[in-house]
Amino acid sequence: GENVEQHPSTLSVQEGDSAVIKCTYSDSASNYFPWYKQELGKGPQLIIDIRSNVGEKKDQRIAVTLNKTAKHFSLHITETQPEDSAVYFCAASEGSASKIIFGSGTRLSIRP
């Protein structure tokens, strides 16, 4: 079955700097790669996703890149702000909601 590994587990960056979180997956059949942000006491929120027919996708300060050959994808957050502090999860799926496999999460802290 699919296995998703996420690194780093914790990340601390200076406000205004960029943050990068990386994930690898094992199942070449996976074609949908969402990223979730979970703030304290809340459920995970879908922030950006990418499908296998696209190499990069941007939405304001966040971007995701996908390398299908190497089976890895990354989340990039530029010009980080205090409200970016949260736990971020990557995930991979063949397209079915019930087959979404999550990474173990990255706790991102933004230093003022």
Give residue 18's Cα distance to chain centre.
14
Judged by the rule CB under 8 A, the positions of this chain that interact with other proteins are 32, 34, 36, 41-46, 49, 89, 93, 95-100, 102-105
**Between residues 27 and 49, which has the closer beta carbon with respect to other proteins?**
49
Query: In whole angstroms, how close is the CB of 14 to other proteins at the nearest point?
Result: 27
Residue 10's Cβ-count burial label (10 Å; 0-12, 13-18, 19+) is exposed
**Between residues 9 and 18, which has the closer beta carbon with respect to other proteins?**
9
**Between residues 48 and 80, which has the closer beta carbon with respect to other proteins?**
48
Q: What is the DSSP letter of 83?
A: G
Q: Residue 88 has which token pair?
A: 């971020």
